Structure 1
Amino acid sequence: MNKFTHFLGIDISKEYFDAVIILEGKKELNNHNQFANNAKGIRELRKWLKEFNATSVNTLVCLEHTGMYGKLVIKHLISYEFSLWVEMSLKIIRSIGLQRGKNDKVDAFRIAYYAMKNQEEAVIYKAPRKVVEKIKTLLSVRDKLIQYRGSLSRHTNELKSFEPELYKLAVKHQNNTIKGIATDLKSIEKQLDLFIKEDEILNTIYTQVSSVPGVGKITTLTLICFTNEFSMYATPRQLACYTGVAPFEYTSGKSIKGKPRVNNMANKKLKKLLHMCALTAATYDPELKVYYQRKVEESKNKLLVLNNVRNKLIHRICACIKENRVYKIREVA
């Protein structure tokens, strides 16, 4: 017997959110309302739910990943002990099949219907700890600062070869900005180190993951943030799929026999970071260096071999987390 009888779908935008509740697991018994995306709106949502006897015990709430716009709704509903399922929008869209037209009310109903149909597969959302949210925010700011600094430097360096006079002018008026960015980046690094040092759980996970050769601080912290301290992925295969490393078969009957390949649906940021880790590991880790060189000598594609190295790194990381230990470098005979 399923736990939930009511299913609430929420479609969130910046200023308001639409809510549709399906009652008693019957598609035709549904009600719609719209609320402001603020604390008052969420209180009104609770009053509205009480009209249908929809409680935290009998109601499954489903919403899409919407970044910062959904933070307030998630925060308050968790504080009211509702079961939340925060799902990828693409999975909801593909599960519904061919659809014509859309609006916020229709989208909210589709989310509620998705929750009702797939409740046995629901992954109840676990809110990240405050320290993890702080680290994620700092990493985001760090990325933006690095991108902006790179954009300024590239533009100025292009002028150097063709317009020396304009180059000097540009340097004069952006030097302070670049120095300021460098100062902010150092400040972020210090704050990240402080978070790691002060939090025992975070420090343990960080020590275990970063003990894997090739995996640096930023990759470790990014993994911690996107996996919610490795609570969202139970196996290396799941993490490899999420980061776009796991290859999938591509065949159909006798006519289509493609080579196994990775899927484009992945966390591109983590994939890029793991690629840099693989390059480092293939250069400095004795075991992976021998593996990489052997495969290349066998005429294997270098990118394919590097993807295999990424996969090995993920397996090492997950093993360290599962077994609660640091990685021990194995000697190559």
Structure 2
Amino acid sequence: MSPPQLVVGVDIAAASFMAAWARPGHAPSTPQPFDQTPAGFASFQKQLATAGVAPDATLVVLEATGSYWVALAVELHSAGYRVAVANPAHVHNYAKSLPRRGKTDGLDARLLTQFGLERQLASWTPPPAVYHELRQRLVARDGLLTMRQQARNQLHALEQWPVRVAAVQQQMTAVIASLDEQVRTLEQAITAVLADGAWAASAAHLQSIPGLGMVTAAWLLVGTVNFTTCASAQAAANSAGLVPLERQSGTSIRGRPSIGHGGNGRVRTALYMATLSAARYNPVIKTFYTRLREAGKPAKVARCAAARKLLHLAFAVVTKAQDFDPSYQKTPVVSLG
């Protein structure tokens, strides 16, 4: 794809956004405000048209902070603009490298413009409908599980007192029962989407891996958009934050490699929890995990390595469109006699 002829930086908020733009080799323009409404989006596109650059030659850079950016990104993508959704951590670190002191919406818009001019940013494409059908149910399920645990903790705390109000206990028990039912309903809906949705084939391949269940398969598909956002299994592991990072400098810093806190934490957690079962029932993961433990690796280190191995298996079965085969990598013994 040819370099953009115009780069637009957008700092977006709940009710409005600031935008600045520049051609390569030029300084960003004076930031201008627009409303976070359909009318504001139309006014923004009208203003961009005055630059005389076609939408497919214009790159609009936004930060993936919260969800305020989504409506504008979808609108611009539908209009033919190239949209890049930048990682806020990358932008933050880039800003620290510049000799600037102030922070305003206008300065941030200019910063994003400069960031887009200097970096080769990948174009963003809206995910398909099945992504939203799964992700919203998965996020809702996580929220309900958190509320259910809070209710259980409150009920447990009430039961420790010598004086117990039966009506309060009944209310808390009813709340827990209601949350149980809502979780079951969501899980049934997730199962139905995995079985009948656009990603049904991939979901079936993933769930053929022992230890990888419905929830983990759904999070993997959502976190990787059906493994279309990563070109390799290693890239998928990097995206999930499961690749150990070296920490060494000269003779003074020699820290242990660790996975850190970067990457998709929800996918990483799902895979880590899946290893609890996979290390017992998946022949590939069991052998791998056992070997690491026997070599003296701590349990958490071995589980993180097993989670990465599990992700490699998931990438393989989806990209090759075949079910898990535990004997796939085994080499037959050739007799020399």
Q: TM-score, normalised by structure 2?
A: 0.91
Aligned residues: 328
Aligned partners of 2:296 and 2:28: how far apart in 1?
A: 62
Q: 1:225 to 1:11 in 2, by over 3 A?
A: same
Aligned match of 2:240 = 243
Residue 164 to residue 209, structure 1, CA distance change in 2 (3 Å):
farther
Q: Distance in 2 between matches of 1:176 and 1:12?
A: 42
- RMSD, aligned CA: 2.0
- Structure 1: gaps of 5 or more residues: none
Give the Cα–Cα distance (whole angstroms) in 2 for the partners of residues 297 and 49 of structure 1: 62
2:117 paired residue number: 116
Write the distance in 1 (CA, Å) between the matches of 2:243 and 2:211: 19
Pairs within 5 Å for 1:162-201: 162-163=161-162, 165-166=164-165, 168-199=166-197, 201=198
Q: Corresponding residue for 2:21?
A: 21
Distance 2:195 2:3 in 1: 41
Partner of 2:219: 222
Closer, same or farther in 2 for the Cα pair 1:40/1:231, shift >3 Å? same
Deviation at 1:169, TM superposition (A): 3.4
Determine what percentage of the aligned residue pairs are the same residue: 23
Q: Structure 1 residue 20: deviation in Å?
A: 0.7
How far off is 1:248 after superposition? 1.7
Alignment of 1:267-278 (within 5 A): 267-278=264-275
Pairwise CA distance, 1:286: 2.6
Secondary structure class of the residue paired with 2:59: strand
Q: Distance in 1 between matches of 2:211 and 2:192?
A: 22
Q: 2: distance between equivalents of 1:255 and 1:126?
A: 44
Could you tell me which amino acid in structure 1 is paired with residue 101 of structure 2? Answer: R
The yes-or-no answer on 1:160 pairing with 2:159 is yes
Q: Deviations over 1:67-114 (max 9, x none)?
A: 321121011111101111111011012123143110101101111110
Comparing 313-322 with 251-260, greater Cα deviation is found at 251-260
Unaligned 5+ segments in structure 2 are 333-337
How many Å apart are 1:306 and its aligned residue?
1.1
Structure 1 pair 294/164, CA: closer, same or farther in 2 (3 Å)?
farther
Report the CA distance between 1:164 and its aligned residue: 5.2
Moved more, 11-20 or 93-102: 93-102
Query: CA, structure 1 residues 241+163, in 2 after alignment: closer, same or farther (shift >3 Å)?
Result: farther
TM-score, length of structure 1 as denominator length: 0.92
Instruction: Return the offset for 1:292.
Output: 2.3
- 8 Å CA contact 2:207–2:217 kept in 1: the answer is yes
Quote the Cα distance in structure 1 between the aligned partners of 2:237 and 2:153.
34
